Structure 1
């Protein structure tokens, strides 16, 4: 578990990944699409003995969830494209560790494949993305949702998720609680888009597009989950039964991601507060966690000449 945490750039061993962005873009693409995924493949190869250790599974859930939340917040504050993509990788791998800790091995394998394709493309296309942004016209007014719109958005997103989950439940059988909770976490991210469509200033076309995107994500989640389980049937262990510790960690994870999504949707209302500006500076520097780790392991100590 510790080897996989180091390989995937999980907290607090994440600093090396953000510091190698001086490499050429094709090297960065290979690094994120191949080498980083090796930590996840290690866990998948050792899935049975890993699942036999409740302590290791609980550590994966805790460290993976914290890594995903923390790196996702830091990613939003980065100005450089490659650095933002590096923090995105840390967040993605943290979510993959969370999936492994929950015993959702088939989803973790699907995540690794999807992350390799997505991140390799993102790095190789980063230059074109910068040029497109520079060539774009100045954006118009943004529809900022209020608290009521955000509440409606979360209700709509969860209702869509419940309907889709119920449909797949009837068609293909029930899913374990871990899979349903993880799907709710993904829907929290979609609720942010729905909130933009439900804002008072949003046009109806935007509302329709965001609602359609929410339905598509919910359907895709269960469809790919069913497909990945069918492809690896018998090769990976089934998710373990939820005990008191696992249930508590699962509830804490869902609440943490839900609270973060709610804060992100409401951020425009307090973004101009001085405290928000100060927090942005600290998040841009990753809350200085890597600097603290470097100092603890002697990274800043000078060697005395003989």
Structure 2
């Protein structure tokens, strides 16, 4: 009977085995493997992630059901105890280095974003991942809830996640956001969780543009009103400055507030940006 490659096998072709093994050797600690390997761990965890497995038993049972296909993936079946030991004891730096290799390769072939402007475009976001507090007591989030937070920076040239880190669930989104560097002239789209007036001012001084949602209770005054095309959903386009005692001190610069009404839902949104020349509809589309 002829052999046909599985989809998983085709995906693994994106990761040259010799490169993986070289990184695995560089980031190995403890005793050497006899028959198991980091490649088998990687294949096992990759399949578990893509198939939505939620426990070691579930992962191992699924791999057992596919055991006749593992040979063609260069993998072997791992027992629960072995998979637990490798996940627990072996350093994560292997996968951090692998991420860097894959990112570098993808950056060389990534297409540009779909907007007319040439500025690099990034999005920042974070998501909270719930954990069982009894199983992960170090991840205390609330009184009876555990959680971690995954922070990601997405480059819209090829939609590449150029940065990812995991923190305690209590760490605020903007705390990580302020540690990231962006090239001058880039545009960063963020939600209201990244609201920080001092950061807005610092980004502007560095030549970095941002697009975000304006908080409803932000105290400000209108300096100038600009013409809008209401047929495109734009309800207002204003130059503003903050008037709050603390806010005005942290962000003493003029910014732009754009009102937009979503035709499909009828909801009204107000966007805040330091880009004074870009079309208002483009600013709304960025968000």
Give yes or no for TM over 0.5. Answer: no
* More contact order relative to length (CA 8 Å, sep ≥ 6): 1
- TM-score, normalising length from structure 1? 0.23
Q: Which has the higher helix share?
A: 1
- TM-score, normalising length from structure 2? 0.24
Q: Which has the higher strand share?
A: 2
